[in-house]
Structure 1
Amino acid sequence: MIRSPIRLLVPMAAAVALAGVSAPALAQSMSPPAGHHMVAPPHLSLAAWGEVKVAPDMAMINFGVQTEAPTAEAAMRQNAQYMERVMAALRRAGIAERDIQTLGLNLSAQYDYLPDQPPRLRGYQATNRVMVTVRDLSRVGTTADAVVSAGVNQIDGISFGLTDRTAAEDQARRLAVRDLQRKAGLYAEALGVRLGGIRGLSEGTSMSAPPPMPYARAEMMVQSDASTQVSPGELTVRVDISGVYDLVL
């Protein structure tokens, strides 16, 4: 008669102990044994891209003024004089201050190297390099000619770009997603399965154009008011994406 209450208390103690087990501990006890890996659901990984052609609305001209003189001070002074003329020419061409950026200012010693003789100092060379953004494409050629007339003796080339790439990139994104969906549906049909939801999506964007145009100004022109002709062409805006789709077997 005394043992019956004891038998009733044992299940109650077990219930209290189970209630005290935290959720993480319970989840851990239900995890698969060590060495056993859960099989990932079937999925499909694909890549696609979208590309649009657009006309540029701006141009960048990289140029420089290089001077040489017997002394460093003279080389820098001459360079500053030429650059002052160049900046005045840019202002007359309608280029805003915000569209003129100095890329580099360098001063270096110049040596002559003769056989069996130590290097001989010839003088100093100063270089001031500038990038100008031209927002009116009809003025690209005349702007290049203007800075050359003012003293620029180095032009690396002319490149073109877009003030705002958003609209072109969005159009390329739509084309890329359309291509990705088409591929995913095609593969699902060929495999005889149903296409599930998309699990992940990533993208990368780029814009390409023909290589920068080399600039060469003719020493003699038939007409004094002739200017360099520049053709902007087209830019290619491209968006590359990759996506992962679930497959329903």
Structure 2
Amino acid sequence: MPAVRLADGDLNYQLEGPTGAPVLVLSNSLGTDLHMWDVQMPTLTRDFQVLRYDTRGHGQSLVTEGPYSIEQLGRDVLGLLDALDIAKAHFCGLSMGGLIGQWLALNAPERIARLVLCNTAAKIGTPEVWNPRIETVLAGGAQAMRDLRDASISRWFTAGFAATQPQQVEPIVDMLAQTAPEGYAANCAAVRDADFRELIAGIQSPTLIVCGSHDPVTTVENGGFMQQRITGAQLVEFHAAHLSNVEAGDAFTQALLDFLNQ
């Protein structure tokens, strides 16, 4: 796969779709990689150049010493856009990717056309949630990541979807088991420390907020909080848990297309 050389290592990416089409950046959730968007790709690449990448600490991208920050991860995206000579793009991020999208829209608004914030919040969790997870992963290494894999199924997918669609669920949760413990822990710290609650009213990009009605991590109420503060923001809710792009599938993709083509 191609990679962009950042100052401290390589950022893995894929750019697919018709040359000259508008660019859409897809940003993965904590514990997954760019393949979490596979179900969307056949449709999105008809109308867009789709730029997927593995966030630092994930997939085939660089794993550097942590903790990371959302600003650092956002600057990685700007470095990727610069290297590919992309002046402006739509941005769609899920969970941690949504935090990165908020940072970009606030700090580099000239680079973001339309913004899609999926299964995310202006602040996700508390130190009481994140710190024990960080400690467990750093102490337990690969085995701790495998344990997290099993625990993540109920957070990422509804019970019905997990039971009836194992062929979709298993490849996604396996991404978590294969994530480098050091990279995962460093990204947990980035999510822990991010807080845009007092800032998101400054987002000017047209924004779509996507929620899962059964998401135990970033709730519909979290989505409503953002919608109330971002001028003109739209909100759509799917019968899904945390990874609505996988569980809602075609409906998610269509909502994304409808928004981007407005």
TM-score calculated relative to the size of structure 1: 0.22
Give the structure with the higher percent strand: 1
TM-score calculated relative to the size of structure 2: 0.21
Higher RCO by CA contacts (8 Å cutoff, separation 6 or greater):
1
Give the structure with the higher percent helix: 2
The structure with the larger Rg is 1
